[in-house]
Structures are given as C-alpha cells and as structure tokens.
C-alpha cells in the first residue's frame, strides 16, 4: 500500500517505541485507490494517553484497530483519488458511516463510505449496477 525507501528512514531514540518499529520522513502511495487516515487515542496499562494517527489501506486494518481494547477511534478520513471523488485531485473527507452493501441480483459486495458533508462513495466504484441493495452498517463515527 505505502512504499518507503531506506534513505528516508529516521532513527528512533531507544525507549520511544518498542522493537520492530521504524520511522520515515517520506512514504509514497503508489496505488490509485483510497486509503484511510484514522485518528485514535491509545490508553496504555498505566492509564497514559497517546494520540495516534494511522494511515491504513482498508477495512481489514480498520477492523484490527477497532478490535484493540486500548484504542479508541476518534475520527476517520477517507482519502480518495480523483477518479473516485470526481474532483480532479486527491481529497480527504471525514467519514460519518461505513456500510457493507450487497447487490441483490448479482451478489456483488461493496463498501459504502458516507461522509459528514453528505457525499458517499462505493468501493469498488461502479456506475452500472442499478437495482436493489441490502446494506448493513459496519462503523458509525
């Protein structure tokens, strides 16, 4: 989903993060598909609170964050490429609700992002599937 280069790695001071973590000055999104910018609050065992921003590639990662008992999701931004949002450029909008939608005739499954500003986006995007859909809410923010 996101690419990094070793020249952009930033040393992490010991004690700031546990082993296995790396910091980067630059990351690249090399795919022309949406991603999620997730604002969270992490509460550790001592009750200390840390604000964390996650840039994730999709619903599986969002489910993982939501299932962490020490993490509270405060806000989700949907970052969309121009072909998805129709604006001619990449844009980020605040998500109000995420639903799963199934086309009743074809069985095709979609993720529907409903934004606070009233916009909505379906992934994978389609303009040809007219008909009835069954929708179930996955997340409401």
Q: Name the least confident of 13-22, 31-40, 42-51.
A: 13-22
> When comparing pLDDT for 101 and 45, which is higher?
101
Q: What is the mean pLDDT of residues 75-81?
A: 96
Which pLDDT value is given to residue 12?
Answer: 80
Average pLDDT of the residues in 76-88 = 94
| Residue 84 CB neighbour total at 10 angstroms | 20
pLDDT of 35 higher than 80: yes
Backbone angles phi, psi at 63, to 5 degrees: -60, -40
The answer to whether the beta carbons of residues 38 and 63 sit under 8 Å apart is: no
* Rounded distance between C-alpha atoms, residue 114 and residue 99, angstroms: 8
Q: How confident is the model at residue 15 (pLDDT cuts 50, 70, 90)?
A: low
Q: What is the overall mean pLDDT for the chain? A: 89
Quick one: pLDDT at residue 127?
63
Between CA 113 and CA 46 the distance in angstroms is 35
CB-hemisphere CA count at 13 Å for 53? 5
44 confidence band (pLDDT: 50, 70, 90): confident
Confidence of residue 129 (pLDDT cuts 50, 70, 90): low
């Amino acid at each position: 989903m996101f690419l990094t280069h070793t020249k952009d790695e930033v040393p992490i001071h010991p004690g700031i993060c546990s082993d296995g973590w790396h910091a980067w000055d630059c990351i690249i999104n090399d795919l022309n598909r949406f991603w999620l910018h997730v604002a969270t609050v992490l509460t550790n065992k001592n009750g200390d609170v840390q604000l964390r921003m996650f840039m994730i590639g999709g619903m599986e990662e969002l489910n993982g964050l939501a299932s962490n008992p020490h993490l509270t999701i405060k806000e989700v931004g949907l970052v969309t490429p121009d072909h998805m949002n129709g604006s001619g450029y990449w844009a980020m909008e605040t998500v109000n609700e995420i639903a799963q939608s199934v086309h009743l005739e074809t069985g095709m499954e979609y993720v529907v992002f409903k934004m606070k500003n009233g916009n909505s986006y379906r992934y994978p995007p389609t303009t040809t599937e007219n008909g009835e859909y069954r929708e179930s809410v996955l997340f409401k923010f």
